[in-house]
Amino acid sequence: MEVLYVVFCFFLHFALLFISVYDIITMRIPNVSVVFLSALGLLRSAYMVDGSFFESCAAALFICVVMLLVKKISSKITGENGLGGGDVKFASACGLFFQFSGVWVFFILTGCFGIIAIGIRNLVKLCFGARGEKKGKYVPLAPAIAAAFEFVYFFG
């Protein structure tokens, strides 16, 4: 069973790393990688943890609803799409890996890591100047979501 868990963790980390790097480079999150991460989450919930399948699905649905609300409210306030649909799907897929006890910590850490990413982006813009309007205007949120997921999954 330990070998299976090590292989599972390898695929999990690979998926998180791929999604983060792809989002940094292209400002998009591919649907195939979110489906793969969701399949890993469903597999883990169904077979590796006792009796938490429905709670994990409910946590993912709750994360999806909250992130969609944040997306709609922030776009109404700012007039721009700050949170992309890929970020919502990615965060929802991450919700399949833990129960409701980890959801709030996940939201708090995602926000904190997102603020840190915005601070780093602003510092880089200040030091080196803005290069490219699209890349300088938005911050890829997938690395913040992945970092928050790692903390909640392994330490929470």
- Model confidence, pTM: 0.89
Tokens of 29: 């999150």
For 39, counting Cβ atoms within 10 Å of its Cβ (0-12 exposed, 13-18 middle, 19+ buried), the class is: middle
Give the pLDDT score at 148: 96
Tokens of 42: 């469903």
Q: Per-residue pLDDT for 26 more than 80?
A: yes
| Across 39-43, 82-86, 145-149, least confident range | 82-86
Could you give the CA distance from residue 29 to residue 51 in angstroms, rounded to a whole number?
31
Percent helix / strand / coil, the chain, rounded to 5: 80, 0, 20
pLDDT band at 1 (very low <50, low <70, confident <90, very high): low
Give the pLDDT score at 37: 95
For the segment 56-68, the average pLDDT, to the nearest whole number, is 93
Q: Per-residue pLDDT for 48 more than 80?
A: no
For the segment 20-32, the average pLDDT, to the nearest whole number, is 94
Could you give the CA distance from residue 97 to residue 152 in angstroms, rounded to a whole number?
9
Residue 42 dihedral angles phi and psi, to the nearest 5°: -65, -40
Sign of CA dihedral 135, 136, 141, 146: positive
Tens digit of each residue's pLDDT (9 = 90 or more) over 89-139:
999 999 999 888 889 999 999 999 999 988 988 888 888 876 654 555 788
Rounded to 10 degrees, the C-alpha dihedral 148/151/154/156 comes to -100
Give the pLDDT score at 12: 93
Q: Per-residue pLDDT for 49 more than 80?
A: no
Q: Per-residue pLDDT for 60 more than 80?
A: yes
Residue spans per domain, the chain: 2-155
| Summary mean pLDDT of the chain | 88
**8 Å CB contact between 40 and 7:** no
Give the pLDDT score at 136: 55
